[in-house]
Amino acid sequence: MSQYQVSQAVWRDFLAQHADGGVIAATVTRVLPFGALVELPPGVPGLLSRPAWTAEAEAGERVEVRIASLDVENRRVSVVPA
């Protein structure tokens, strides 16, 4: 399993706790030109896109984010600053 594939059990637990959105503490894992990849709970990556996020961050930094959208079928999470 690649680092960006979410196991079924981890994904199921994440949805049970966060399907209705809400604010989550996340860790920036990688900064890219189009935004930042963040890890929500361990094993659940999210994308904080550049248009929604203007602050600079570094890998390892903790940020507060809100779930913007969930792609349940593809196990993808988009987040915005909280």
Model pTM?
0.81
Rounded to whole angstroms, the Cα distance separating 6 from 45 reads: 8
pLDDT tens-place string over residues 27-76? 999 998 888 999 998 889 999 988 777 777 889 999 999 999 888 888 88
Report the candidate in 20, 48, 44 with the shortest Cα–Cα distance to residue 34: 48
Pick the CATH number of 8-81 from 2.40.50.140, 1.10.3720.10, 3.30.10.20, 3.40.50.720: 2.40.50.140
β partners of residue 39: 27, 45
Of all residues in the chain, what percent carry a pLDDT higher than 90? 34
Distance CA 20, CA 51 (A): 23
Domain boundaries, the chain: 8-81
